[in-house]
Amino acid sequence: MITRHPRETLTVMMLTAGGTIAFYAYSIYMQKFLVNTSGLSRETASQINAITLFLFMLLQPVAGALSDRTGRKPLMISFGVLGVIYTYPIFSTLARTTDPTVAGLLVMAGLLIVTGYTSINAVVKAELFPAHIRALGVALPYALANTLFGGTAEFVALWFKQAGMEQAFYIYVSIMIAISLAVYVRMRETAQHSRILED
């Protein structure tokens, strides 16, 4: 699979890297961040997480429908550009925020940006491969990238925090999003060049 479709395999890994680390940062790790860095109570952080993730869930079909009208690339590029620009400011402002409402709005802003990736990334990856190799073609590079970048996001964040340079995590996330952005800009519009159409 990798030898026959090396470009598609690498594309899946690189377009996943920035999106998955951003998603983990704003969802899985966020509760610990709000408690350990912002100083909010566990109960308040849990409430913020529950509310923002519920709203985030509702946004997915809306953004997916938008991609059917405008194409996949514009949404993914929007995620990349906004993620690179706003990840550091969102996290650094959250670090100084003690107001739960402000914290919730900042987390929601981050999740809104990430929606440009999460709402369509599965279909984008599926559109890269022909039917006979699609399941493995998507699953293997996605699992590798998800493990390497998403799965280690919390570990990396806590390591930076313990080392006294927590802001380096914000930079790390921004760099990974920038790498994925470079892939989004260079890749074909999968809605127009879908390998699914041959099925």
Over residues 138-177, the pLDDT tens digits come to 677 778 888 888 889 999 999 999 999 999 999 999 999 9
Where residue 73 sits, what CATH number does that domain have? 1.20.1250.20
Residue 199 lies in a domain: no
Is the pLDDT reported for residue 11 higher than 80?
no
Cβ burial 135-147 (10 Å sphere, 16+ → b, else e): eebbeebbeebbe
Cα distances (Å, whole numbers) of residue 16 to 21, 141, 154, 159: 8, 9, 17, 22
Separation CA 165–CA 179 (nearest Å) = 22
Q: Average the pLDDT over each of 8-22, 68-82, 182-196 and give the range with the smallest value.
A: 182-196
What is the domain range of residue 10? 6-188
Backbone angles phi, psi at 143, to 5 degrees: -65, -40
Over residues 21-36, the pLDDT tens digits come to 999 999 999 999 999 9
3-state secondary structure of 17: helix
Separation CA 116–CA 16 (nearest Å) = 12
pLDDT of residue 136: 62
Residue 110 lies in a domain: yes
Residue 178 lies in a domain: yes
pTM of the model: 0.86
Domain count across the chain: 1
Residue 198 lies in a domain: no
Are 113 and 86 in contact by the 8 Å Cβ rule? The answer is yes
